[in-house]
């Protein structure tokens, strides 16, 4: 049986694409293995959101192509679409497959390597091992973006927005539940633009969340990321009244300075963003708000950077993802004057990351001595601990005897140190807001 190994970089949408490709290869009789042994084929599902991510994707391909057993290396994902657009050569991969061609990746490989075609397709049930490993099922419901932020290459690599019909999503959610995945993460590039045009009356992201949370057996529904302009009162009200909808919103901020936001093409102001978060926090108890921050955008002054830090403190995020701006070919920001030096970007990034860590710890501290439901992930660790996530996206470690991944346990949170939260199993969760 031919063997294949996947490496995935980047966002949840890419993770989902990898799961689909794994399913396709398994169905065609390939054995999907983890890295460590010599696979016949490697697939690097790449990312190009920053120049660093793109360089890392290429390094992976080079490293794999240089292995002594000379495997076939397929490069797919956003760095392929970027290379097509910019004419940047891709030398090391045996085969390159764009995002749009991912659905035909098996045929593309077998056309090149017919010797890898299994003698007969194995009639096994299609269960991607990546999905078995995770208790959170990522379900892609939307693709593409047309916001055209001036720094971003995603609209080139992922195309215009399009959505899957609700009934198709609900069918996939049922399959995830059958595989023992009780938490559903709805993912999309511009998730909040979700529209089911096939329904008699167009249905939006709130309708989708409601439909998924109505599926019997779903214990949690989480949104992967949603832009501030797509967060409506109706969505917040749904989150407020449905216990299965996680009290967690990932709302990209990018900058807390109005001038920088304007130059980025982000359609909101600092004040609108802060007010939106304040409204959400007052409606939804224990809400976790996580975000992305882009430092070192062209023209970002020291004062603008300080305003971003103030905004971050004012909102009180529970987690930050900090990115350093890098030029993306073909974007307006790449041509802007006043590019920021790498030294300044590194310095701003480390200050922002440090602030993020302290806010993460402060947020977690609010929940100490509370008992919270945790969905157990992965196998027992060597030190006898297990870990999992609370509904408000805190990773918690606790000592525990064997219990299957996907089980829900109640954990009384005891300590938080260096971002690691530890607790003990407990009988029942504390009522919301009660210590």
* C-alpha closest to that of 161 among 145, 182, 179, 180: 145
DSSP result, 184-231: EEEE-TTGGG--BTTSSS-B-HHHHHHHHHTSTT--EEEES---GGG-
Burial of 189 (0-12, 13-18, 19+ CB in 10 A): buried
176 binds ligand SF4 (CB under 6 A): no
155 binds ligand SF4 (CB under 6 A): yes
State the pairing for strand pair 72-77/95-97. Answer: parallel
110 binds ligand SF4 (CB under 6 A): no
The answer to whether 190 and 227 are in contact (CB under 8 A) is yes
* C-alpha closest to that of 151 among 65, 248, 260: 260
295 binds ligand SF4 (CB under 6 A): no
Q: In angstroms, what is the minimal distance from the CB of 254 to ligand SF4? A: 7
152 binds ligand SF4 (CB under 6 A): yes
192 binds ligand SF4 (CB under 6 A): no
Q: In angstroms, what is the minimal distance from the CB of 426 to ligand SF4? A: 40
For residue 321, list its beta bridge partners. Answer: 292
Q: Which stretch binds ligand SF4 (CB under 6 A): 110-118, 149-157, 267-275, 310-318?
A: 149-157
148 binds ligand SF4 (CB under 6 A): yes
Q: In angstroms, what is the minimal distance from the CB of 192 to ligand SF4? A: 9
Virtual torsion, Cα 319, 325, 326, 330, nearest 10 deg: 110
Of residues 154, 205, 211, 249, which one binds ligand SF4 by CB under 6 A? Answer: 154
190 binds ligand SF4 (CB under 6 A): yes
* C-alpha closest to that of 3 among 24, 29, 21: 29
Q: Which stretch binds ligand SF4 (CB under 6 A): 78-86, 151-159, 177-185, 304-312?
A: 151-159
Of residues 147, 229, 334, 403, which one binds ligand SF4 by CB under 6 A? Answer: 147
Compare residues 39 and 190 and give the one whose CB is closer to ligand SF4.
190
Binding mask 206-235 for ligand SF4 (x = CB under 6 A): ---------------------x--------
149 binds ligand SF4 (CB under 6 A): yes
Classify the phi-psi angles of 393: left when phi > 0, otherwise alpha if psi is within -120 to 50, otherwise beta.
Answer: left
The answer to whether 404 and 133 are in contact (CB under 8 A) is no
Tell me how crowded residue 302 is: count the other CB atoms within 10 A of its CB. 9
Interface residues toward ligand SF4, by CB under 6 A: 145, 147-149, 152, 154-155, 189-190, 227
């Amino acid at each position: 049986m031919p063997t294949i190994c996947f490496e995935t970089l980047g966002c949840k949408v890419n993770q989902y694409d990898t799961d689909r490709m794994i399913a396709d290869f398994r169905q065609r009789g390939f054995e999907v293995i983890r890295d460590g042994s010599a696979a016949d084929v490697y697939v690097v599902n790449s990312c190009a959101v920053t120049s660093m991510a793109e360089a890392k994707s290429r390094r992976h391909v080079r490293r794999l192509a240089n292995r002594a057993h000379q495997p076939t290396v397929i490069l797919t994902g956003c760095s392929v679409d970027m290379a097509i657009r910019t004419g940047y050569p891709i030398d090391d991969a045996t085969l390159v497959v764009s995002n749009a061609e991912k659905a035909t990746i098996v045929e593309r490989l077998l056309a090149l390597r017919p010797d890898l075609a299994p003698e007969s397709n194995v009639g096994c049930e299609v269960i991607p091992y990546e999905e078995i490993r995770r208790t959170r099922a990522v379900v892609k419901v939307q693709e593409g973006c047309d916001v055209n932020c001036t720094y971003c290459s995603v609209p080139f690599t992922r195309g215009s927005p399009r959505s899957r019909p609700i009934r198709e999503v609900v069918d996939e959610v049922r399959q995830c539940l059958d595989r023992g995945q009780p938490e559903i993460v709805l993912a999309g590039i511009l998730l909040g633009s979700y529209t089911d045009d096939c329904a008699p009356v167009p249905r939006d992201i709130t309708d989708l969340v409601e439909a998924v949370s109505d599926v019997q057996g779903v214990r949690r529904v989480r949104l992967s990321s949603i832009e501030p302009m797509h967060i409506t009162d109706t969505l917040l009200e749904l989150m407020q009244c449905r216990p299965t909808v996680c009290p967690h919103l990932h709302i990209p901020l990018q900058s807390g300075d109005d001038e920088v936001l304007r130059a980025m093409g982000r359609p909101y102001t600092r004040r609108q963003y802060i007010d939106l978060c304040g409204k959400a926090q007052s409606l939804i108890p224990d809400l976790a708000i996580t975000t992305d921050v882009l430092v070192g955008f062209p023209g970002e002054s020291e004062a603008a950077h300080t305003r971003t830090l103030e905004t971050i403190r004012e909102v009180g995020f529970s987690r930050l993802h900090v990115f350093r701006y890098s030029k993306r070919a073909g974007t307006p920001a790449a041509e802007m004057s006043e590019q920021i030096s790498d030294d300044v970007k590194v310095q701003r990034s480390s200050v922002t990351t440090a602030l993020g860590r302290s806010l993460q710890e402060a947020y977690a501290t609010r929940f100490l001595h509370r008992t919270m439901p945790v969905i157990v992930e992965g196998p027992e660790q060597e030190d006898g601990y297990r870990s999992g996530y609370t509904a408000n996206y805190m990773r918690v470690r606790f000592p525990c005897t064997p219990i299957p991944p996907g089980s829900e346990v109640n954990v009384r949170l005891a300590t938080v140190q260096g971002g690691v939260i530890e607790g003990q199993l407990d009988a029942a969760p504390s009522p919301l807001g009660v210590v």
